[in-house]
Amino acid sequence: VSGETHSIPRHVAIIMDGNGRWAKKRMLPRAAGHRKGIEAARNTVRAAGELGVEVITLYAFSTENWGRPADEVSDLMGLLRHFIQVDIEELHMSGVRLKIIGDYKVLQADLVKMIDAAVAKTAANTKQTLVIALNYGSQAELVRVAQQLADKAKSGALDPNAIDAAMIDAMLDTAQLPPPDLLIRTSGEKRLSNFLLWQLAYAEFLFVDTLWPDYGKAELAAALADYAGRERRYGGR
Ligand code: IPE
Ligand code: IPE
Ligand code: MG
């Protein structure tokens, strides 16, 4: 809900970038960077809960990441499978609700089943929400919304003049979630790479040089301190 400023962001979205460069610096295979990246994700989610962040969204796999070599894609899927298997119990015990955005249904059938089970298991948890963006691309998400709206309008069920921002919001994968207050990207890159283009309309942005595998509680605490010093205006004065 806009117009209110809180010193702690309710929703933090993170573009976890730099696993490959972290591994390269150490002459390790990229997969080692991704493995360490999962640990960073685990620590950061835990820290977010401790620091009072209600929703944390992690960009884990983009619609464009299919363009990577097949063995890297398969490493990433394997790690994701491992994360869901190993971490869901602790997340559940800590009161974390898991939510997925993106077209994850096209992933391998056993992985989809595992994800659906984890989402169902944690659905009633209220302490914290962990959103994982999987096969997520903001443009694909908006194209889907446009197609659904066009279908309804064509059938006469919807007056095009009735389309407004709230209607679009409710049709996005992020419906029911507050918009991100703070967007963090690691590794020094300063771009969105097709992440939450609509949802970030009034978010504060923070770009840090830390490579994702080195990210954790201290880095998140520093990000929150930076956020606390920002003045949000939402176009007002
Ligand atoms: C982020 O690290 C992980 C994913 C995109 C899945 P990268 O793999 O993009 O690492 P760099 O950018 O090559 O260092
Ligand atoms: C963005 O990182 C996607 C994820 C973090 C999952 P990339 O490393 O894929 O983005 P580009 O290619 O540098 O823009
Ligand atoms: Mg990258």
Write the pLDDT tens digit of every residue in 63-104. Answer: 999 999 999 999 999 999 999 999 999 999 999 999 999 999
User: pLDDT class for 2, splitting at 50, 70, 90?
Assistant: very low
Q: Ligand 1: does its nearest atom lie under 6 Å from the Cβ of 17?
A: yes
Catalytic residues: 17, 65
Give the position of tokens 């992020």. Answer: 174
Nearest CA to 143 out of 180, 99, 194, 188 is that of 194
Which alpha helices (H) appear in 15-69, and where do they start and end? 19-25, 30-50
Residue 71 neighbours by CB under 8 Å, 6+ apart: none
Mean pLDDT of 135-149: 98
Give the position of tokens 């994702």. Answer: 212
Q: Given this model, what pLDDT does residue 135 score?
A: 98
CA dist 208 and 67 (Å) reads: 25
19, 30, 62, 77: which to mutate for ligand 2, most atoms within 8 A of CB? 62
The residue whose CA is least distant from atom 1 of ligand 2 is 193
Percent of the chain, pLDDT > 70? Answer: 98
CA dist 156 and 129 (Å) reads: 37
15 pLDDT more than 80: yes
12 pLDDT more than 80: yes
Mean pLDDT of 161-181: 98
Backbone dihedral angles phi then psi of residue 15, each to the nearest 5 degrees: -95, 100
User: First CA to last CA across the chain, in angstroms?
Assistant: 17
- Taking a 5 Å cut-off on Cβ, the residues next to ion ligand 3 are 17
Nearest atom, ligand 2, residue 59 CA: 6
Please tell me the distance between residue 186's alpha carbon and the centre of ligand 3 in angstroms: 9
User: pLDDT class for 197, splitting at 50, 70, 90?
Assistant: very high
Q: Given this model, what pLDDT does residue 5 score?
A: 57
Give residue 35's identity as a one-letter amino acid code.
R
- Protein residues whose CB sits closer than 6 Å to any atom of ligand 2: 15-17, 59-62, 65, 189, 191, 193
Mean pLDDT of 108-115: 97
